[in-house]
Amino acid sequence: MIKRIFDILFCLPMCIVLSPLFILIALFVKFDSRGPVFYLQERIGLNAVPFKIFKFRSMHLDADTKGLLTVGGRDPRITNVGYFLRKYKLDELPQLFNVLLDTMSLVGPRPEVKKYVEMYSQEQKRVLDVKPGITDYASIEYSNENEILGKAENPEEVYIKEVMPAKLKLNLKYIEEKGLGTDMKILFLTMKKILK
């Protein structure tokens, strides 16, 4: 309950303060390429229940039919505005709406698509016992994930065998430590990482 109150008290003012930025980004997205302002993708949330995650669209239409992973800093599926949005994590801002809708929290394991969740071991499936979040230890540690995969000969294989297990290990660490103090620490580390 305390976590939910904290999420609302943080997100509601943030949405109001950032509304001019939201409008500006929406205009840039709309005029830069054909398609909607928001990109909604199905992810697996708390108790393995699917939900739609909100993002500012940073890719051309139907880009996800050509693969679910973003590879390298110059993935050709990404729009001109999308490169800027992704660099500064601005495409993730609409997930504040997910927090207000109670499908996500500010801090928690990043939600994954069904394809990869189906590969989880029983131990790894414990991450589905908590509400997914906008940021977590794995988001900070693997903020350069696109570059890692961009250097791989087989990006999906590297993601499945190396990156995903490492991120899930960090997710399980969060579950063991979870609490308001841990959430505050992760939010601080996330802001530090972004500003850096």
- For residue 66, the model assigns a pLDDT of 64
Give the pLDDT band of residue 167 (cuts 50, 70, 90): very high
Per-residue model confidence (pLDDT) at position 71: 58
pLDDT at 36: 94
pLDDT over 90 for what percent of the chain?
70
Euclidean distance between CA atoms 179 and 129, whole angstroms: 15
CA atoms within 13 A on the CB side of 52: 8
Whether residue 30 has pLDDT greater than 60: yes
Contacts of 79 (CB under 8 A, 6+ apart): 29, 32, 33, 57, 58, 59, 60
**Is residue 86 predicted with pLDDT exceeding 80?**
yes
Quick one: average pLDDT of 97-103?
97
Average the pLDDT over 48-70 and give the result: 82
Number of domains in the chain: 1
Q: Is the dihedral of CA 149, 56, 103, 41 positive or negative?
A: negative
The answer on pLDDT for 65 being more than 70 is: no
Alpha-carbon gap, residue 146 to 135, rounded angstroms: 16
Q: Which amino acid is at 61?
A: L
List the domain range (segments joined by +) for residue 114: 2-195
**pLDDT greater than 60 at residue 72:** no
* Sequence-separated (6 or more) residues with CB below 8 Å from residue 183: 3, 6, 106, 107
